[in-house]
Structure 1
């Protein structure tokens, strides 16, 4: 028997895991699945900015050959200008890497850093790529807490307490997937100072940095302490609605002279895959200099803003469920009061919801959350689909109310019903 590598033992991606595979099987049987499980704008009618298509088409002949391993020069020049405007200092062209989405660059950046047993601090809940990448390359994931009672912000003191002699880096996801939190500058500054104090690398996943609501401001942690090596990740995937084009970038900032060997390792791995997709890189300059991102959709009256508000309102009204209103991205991270339902866990809830109501969402433990009572909903679908899906969820939970005796508050006393 041929078996998989033992390095995959702790690698998982439940967004496309067993429950997703069951949804595919149901779809093949003719069932219509309402999919609220993955952050892909394309199936829900979000249009690709015209400038991206035009620049790709106009430069197809130029994109036939291999390009620079760290990215097309004109794309990196445009990124240099864009990030200088965001208060990134001393940013050189060789500090900018363009690749096949943030996922590829995240994998490269961790593979170049980690030896077996090295530790990386990762938020819980997290986007599962980060946990899986650390584990894949022989590292050890150590989770720090994001506090639901404090708007899902990271706890800097929890981060500090979990640093050991083996700790190499801290992962941040801001704006956050799956919670939708956007971290304030004072929290980020405390984390940056801790990283500088302990000579740690910060991996800042900022792929949703323009998808913001209610006037909230996004701050890049790299701009808050110049004494820390910070790798900032973003791309066209979410802000510009083209995840299938696989265009991401990574900005290295801070005291790079003390990380020349590590940066050389990143460049080596970039060279091993020769180069990133060339076609889409020709669009980066035009996109960054134009106004084709997602901001109009998140403003009052914009489609995403309307859908977020609807999703939050309807989920919050379901008895036994609560959620925080997201300030960024396009995800709602709800919490079940499992004592109210005949459900064993978040996984049990998501699986049964799919089978009974044909609604596909993701269980919170799929994002490495430390309790088994959360779930993530994507609010990219239009209001009609969202309304139908959440109404089905409410009906499902009403059917699955616990049959156990329920304590009911009557005045100042407690009685059993």
Structure 2
């Protein structure tokens, strides 16, 4: 049974090879233990995403996006401020948004993994891009914090050159330019940079995700599969102690992906990642609380029937899209009819606030039931990562706040 408690956190010493956590040891000198350092066959992944840390999203940290209506993502944030000022603001954010205390709290809540999104620009920057660097030094420190807390790390390449989905979570909102020009090769360069940097840390970094949420409906699916093949080879050539995680590209994770990237086809230790949200279409956001629960429960048997390790790498307690700017900077919600082309389902009053305590009793009970149904379903196979650990003002999405408010608890 998971023990979701944030009280009485144990003090975790994170000396590594005799070096205190304040001066982390170079990861290249760490000794490897052969084989993946987590048993994905017999143990369940119970994890959380550290969203909004190394890849900005306006809805997670709206306080950073008070620079004008032309600043809608990390690309325009950096372009508007310029390199020096962007680095100053982002460096402060990287060093304060998630700290060692968060890793300790995550472990004390009964979790065993964190998924850490990062953009290509942190690893393999491209001349002419406005992005700034410095994230990897903080990521090195984070891996040491995870090690000290007993957590495993999945490093997720969240943004690719040109944007693989046009979402602000790719770093650049708007058009989809990935698969054009040399963007795929530059993505592989970033994957190689991550795998090379952390091949000495596979006691803690158990997997590298090749790309977050490529939008299969707008891209070549054959091209995505070719990229996955190349990315798999890139990761495993650096170390066979990594698992390689691939996203389902929003294709049916059972019907489309069964039979692909399996041992019979020459692939070992592949994890399929599917993201399960129920709020980004009119039909989904119109569901009753019981319908949300039923839809979650129905996923369990489908997950159990996949032919490879399968995680739900992103999911939420939200049954509305009311969180401020969730659908993009300055955009409204489908739920209350303020999103362009939508029809009102209900009111978002009280759902924009930053605390779970401010939610109604009905909302809290519905979130709790929805979370518990998803935990049951997603543990039918390999496990899950909740999105996300913390936000400034989106309580339905804020695991830390949901834990404290009794909405995410032992089953």
TM-score (norm 2): 0.29
The structure in which a higher percent of residues are helix is: 1
Q: Which has the larger radius of gyration?
A: 1
TM-score (norm 1): 0.29
